Structure 1
């Protein structure tokens, strides 16, 4: 049975960087947010989003993600509605992907809202990635070309690090890449995952 390692962390903690370290070591990685973006372009999901949120979010059948984010990050009820459309579709997609990778002892499921969505219950091991709040805010402002206020309102929608850490098996502090990579190597050793040095 393939074991699922849930990898999570607040916005700007650098989860994807850590996921890439695991991928480099030969552990298959499923990045839920990236897959959700693809799924949001699929016809059945587009129809559901239109039914719940209206056509104005679409230009030539293309979803305006910024407009949608503005709605859901300021309204937890709308966020729940969106999640109830996206999560089942991502879950189905992940199960298909898991089948393809069933020969691996461990795989990584990387998701920002691993706890909030309840998906942590499907994981055998959980790793939380943390970083000091100011570093996280700066990373997101630079990455998403957004404002400090927007980053803080998105942070408010997520669990706090302290809550995540209580439910995690491992914690990686990601404010120094070299140290973070050493943490990943340590976890690989503890779990006895053979590293792929190709």
Structure 2
């Protein structure tokens, strides 16, 4: 594993519908490199060794006839069974950490002051051990439910299953170094800018 030491690394997390991806895009607009762990994790499913492990664990139905990931099939299984969700994470996360290592090597050469890793399960996955500070984005369950229904068209029952599979908000807040409260658009921009200036000083 590549040992990076120069660039200050910020982990950005939050439960489904909290608005963490929106916050990540604001950091990116400010010129900060952002590693979107959820997106990168989806790419890991196509690594030959990982694909073999997924098929072994979930069967050939885990991929379509064209070789694409059958995400609805996987989601239906893992968000109803905590043990199988953990098994899936154990398959994906080692490959994800390697992708982050490679990404960090590239960005260290570009002399950025700090970088952000956006990850839905920053603490659960152990990815928090790879960053210097953790920021969580928090919103009420009612707000999160509305956002996900509007964004993904999921049923209330399916959203609740995903919420139930994640750690409680309070636990994530307690583990984080900073918390962004996603209630008001103007307020959240102010909080992000404050953290941006803080991280620029720390780097």
Q: TM-score, normalised by structure 1?
A: 0.93
Question: 1 CA distance for matches of 2:51 and 2:181?
Answer: 37
Deviates more, 1:64-73 or 1:165-174: 165-174
Question: 2 CA distance for matches of 1:140 and 1:113?
Answer: 17
Cα deviation digits, residues 134-183 of structure 1 (max 9, x gap):
11011111222111111111111111111111121211111222211111
**SS state of the match for residue 200, structure 2?**
coil
Of 81, 94, 97, the residue aligned with 1:75 is 81
Kindly state the Cα deviation for residue 66 of structure 1 after the two structures are TM-superposed. Answer: 0.5
Kindly state the Cα deviation for residue 24 of structure 1 after the two structures are TM-superposed. Answer: 0.7
What pairs with 1:43-82 in structure 2 (closer than 5 Å)? Answer: 43-60=48-65, 61-82=67-88
5+ residue gaps in structure 2?
A: 1-5
Matched, 1:184 2:189: no
What pairs with 1:1-198 in structure 2 (closer than 5 Å)? Answer: 1-60=6-65, 61-102=67-108, 103-192=111-200
5+ residue gaps in structure 1?
A: 194-198
Deviates more, 1:84-93 or 1:135-144: 135-144
**SS state of the match for residue 59, structure 1?**
coil
* TM-align CA RMSD: 1.4
Cα deviation digits, residues 113-147 of structure 1 (max 9, x gap):
00111221221111000011111011111222111
Question: 2 CA distance for matches of 1:191 and 1:53?
Answer: 42
Aligned residue pair count: 194
